[in-house]
Structure 1
Amino acid sequence: MSEITRVLKTFIGYLKRPDLYPELGRKIIKNTVNRGNAFKGKEKTNSWAAERAISQEEAVLKLFGLETGAFRKDYAEVLRTAEQKEKACPVKMGGPGALELIYYACEFTNAKNVVETGVAYGWSSLASLLSLAKRNGTLYSSDMPYLAQDGDQYVGYVVPQNLKSNWKLFRFADKESLPKIFAENSVFDVLHYDSDKSYNGRIWAYNELYKHLKKGGVFISDDIGDNSAYQDFCEKNSIETMVVEYEGKYIGVFVK
């Protein structure tokens, strides 16, 4: 699909969904007036992150006092099935991230309520749900419809049917989804951010999510090297964060 075709298809998709008009307005502003903000402070933060980066295994041990080895063994069959489903999927979305970090954050907090932004195939959703299901907890997810491709039916594709009763999926932009989620549940044990990559989008969401994270809860943000939003947020709030390097990208994680 060419870039022009993709943009046109996305625009038409928005026009068909009046409930997404607020996000369309924000997208237009982001890609015109605020275009320079997307990568604001990127160089600064990549240098900062590189100095602090440790492995996922080290972070889980230091923060949670847990070893990560059992995850791949205990859920070998579930993960193998998920990999097969991803390979067979006709629409390509984001692959698995640091699954152990998410899973053990839920184990560490004995999580009953988790919120995440960004779903795609549902790899991070799967990691959270495998832990939440033990306590009959709930995962609240925010993910925009895939307007440029016929991918909506594949959102959360790797999540097995038996875990879906513990999952509530909100198909709007974060600025619409998160208020709906917080109206249903106001305090969360773990939050995982992996949606709007822009500086302004991140700063807004980090502040909103942080308010609803319990003391002792775990905050995780993917792709913090895209710009300096995560670093600036942590410094402004005097938060001591760990930085995980995973497959060439940086993830921020801290316990509130």
Structure 2
Amino acid sequence: MKISNILRQAIRPSRSRVMLKKLYKRINDTRGERSATENYKWLRENRRSFSAFAESIDQALWRESETVARRITEAADARLREVEYDLGGGGVYPLLYFITRLMRPTVVVETGVAAGYSSAAFLEALEANAHGELYSSDFPYFRIPDPERYIGIVVDDSVKHRWHLYVEGDENNLRAIVDEVPAIDLFHYDSDKSYSGREQAWDQVRARLASNAVVLFDDIQDNSFFMDFVGREGREDWYVFEFNDKYIGLVGTLKRE
């Protein structure tokens, strides 16, 4: 990490405001209603296999999802070998592809792009559906030079015509996206993992969610936001999935459209 890379982003007023807010949240984050121990216990007690879950809904579609995910992985590995920086890996993008194919959403909104594994999965599924658009919120990884060029680097050019990318931080991006779309059918949160960051994003998008929207939160082991959230909202249609010692929360009913 070079200080010059950080300073290059910090001298841009819009970027410096986002960077300062991120720092403030790390130092003064909201405490959840449950302790880390309580949260982990709840997650372990409620976790289930996302592959078994998907197969129980549509086995053939899950097989397709696994095949496409392998193709995304192979293409991404080849592309990232040419990059000298660690841009992070992918998450549960086979499940994201599956949900998108199953639901046939018109509008998908995600936060956190990085290299673009999840974005690629969403876009490949939307292209297979021949329907829908992806709106992505990100913020350049300011510790590396020219970070904008690496956002979504693994996304294939053939599916980018369905992609709307915003790179000024979630608070700014989600405000713009909510103003742009009529309703959000599928929302995937995978950016600022702080409790307050999740709260802020939820407050921004909730009024724009479709009545049958599906919502996913990644890395819910980091704090008790998801556990508190389903309790406060009185939701019963929620699931917890485990992936590589991390947890993903889903709210909503999955059915083929």
* Length-normalised TM-score, structure 1: 0.88
Asked if the contact 1:40–1:199 (Cα under 8 Å) also holds between the matched residues in 2, the reply is no
The alpha-carbon deviation at position 9 of structure 1 amounts to 4.2
The alpha-carbon deviation at position 71 of structure 1 amounts to 1.9
Residue 71 to residue 203, structure 1, CA distance change in 2 (3 Å): same
Residue 77 to residue 242, structure 1, CA distance change in 2 (3 Å): closer
Match for 1:57: what amino acid?
A: S
Distance 2:14 2:34 in 1: 30
Asked if the contact 2:90–2:117 (Cα under 8 Å) also holds between the matched residues in 1, the reply is yes
Distance 1:126 1:86 in 2: 14
Counterpart residue number, 1:219 = 215
Q: How does 1:48-67 map to 2 (within 5 A)?
A: 48-61=42-55, 65-67=57-59
SS at match of 1:226: coil
SS at match of 1:19: helix
Distance 2:23 2:31 in 1: 13
Q: Deviations over 1:181-236 (max 9, x none)?
A: 11110311111100011111111212333332212221111100000111111110
Q: How does 1:37-76 map to 2 (within 5 A)?
A: 37=31, 41-61=35-55, 65-67=57-59, 68-74=62-68, 76=70
Match for 2:132: what amino acid?
A: G
Which stretch of the first structure deviates more once superposed, 228-237 or 200-209? 200-209
Match for 2:191: what amino acid?
A: S
Residue 196 to residue 60, structure 1, CA distance change in 2 (3 Å): same
Distance 1:160 1:16 in 2: 32
Distance 1:212 1:48 in 2: 29
Asked if the contact 2:178–2:205 (Cα under 8 Å) also holds between the matched residues in 1, the reply is no
- 2:19 counterpart (17, 24, 34): 24
Q: Is 1:237 matched up with 2:229?
A: no
Counterpart residue number, 1:15 = 10
Q: CA RMSD, aligned part only? A: 2.2
Which stretch of the first structure deviates more once superposed, 142-151 or 222-231? 142-151
The alpha-carbon deviation at position 78 of structure 1 amounts to 4.4
Counterpart residue number, 2:248 = 251
Q: Deviations over 1:98-151 (max 9, x none)?
A: 112111111221112100000011000011001111324210000001111123
SS at match of 2:88: coil
Q: Is 1:196 matched up with 2:204?
A: no
- 2:160 counterpart (155, 159, 164): 164
The alpha-carbon deviation at position 74 of structure 1 amounts to 4.8
- 1:179 counterpart (175, 179, 190): 175
The alpha-carbon deviation at position 35 of structure 1 amounts to 5.0
Distance 1:220 1:78 in 2: 21
The alpha-carbon deviation at position 72 of structure 1 amounts to 2.8
Q: Is 1:126 matched up with 2:120?
A: yes
Asked if the contact 1:144–1:171 (Cα under 8 Å) also holds between the matched residues in 2, the reply is yes
Q: Deviations over 1:7-33 (max 9, x none)?
A: x743x234321122432342342244x
Residue 37 to residue 87, structure 1, CA distance change in 2 (3 Å): farther
Q: Deviations over 1:156-193 (max 9, x none)?
A: 01101111111010001111000101111031111110
SS at match of 1:224: coil
Asked if the contact 1:203–1:233 (Cα under 8 Å) also holds between the matched residues in 2, the reply is no
Residue 78 to residue 39, structure 1, CA distance change in 2 (3 Å): same
The alpha-carbon deviation at position 238 of structure 1 amounts to 0.9
Gaps of 5+ in 1: none
Gaps of 5+ in 2: none
* Length-normalised TM-score, structure 2: 0.88
SS at match of 2:81: helix
Residue 204 to residue 51, structure 1, CA distance change in 2 (3 Å): same
- Aligned pair count reads 248
SS at match of 2:242: strand
Distance 1:158 1:121 in 2: 6
Match for 1:251: what amino acid?
A: I
